Amino acid sequence: MIRMLAHKLSVSIDAASMKFVEDYRKKHSEKSRSEVFVDALRLLQRHEQETLLEAAYAQSAPADRLIAAEFDSTIADGLDDEAW
Q: What are the extents of the domains in the chain?
A: 33-72
pLDDT digits (tens, 9 = 90+) for 18-47: 999 999 999 999 999 999 999 999 999 999
Cα separation, 44 vs 46, in Å, equals 5
What does pLDDT average to over the chain?
Answer: 85
Q: pLDDT category, 52, cuts 50, 70, 90?
A: very high
* Residue of 23 and 6 predicted with greater confidence: 23
Question: At a CB cut-off of 8 Å and minimum separation 6, what does 11 contact?
Answer: 37
pTM above 0.85, yes or no: no
State the DSSP string of the chain. Answer: --------------HHHHHHHHHHHHHTT-SSHHHHHHHHHHHHHHHHHHHHHHHHHHHHHHHHHHHHHHHHHHHTSS--GGG-
Give the HSE-up count for residue 56: Cα atoms under 13 Å, Cβ half-sphere.
Answer: 6
For the segment 2-31, the average pLDDT, to the nearest whole number, is 92
Q: pLDDT category, 17, cuts 50, 70, 90?
A: very high
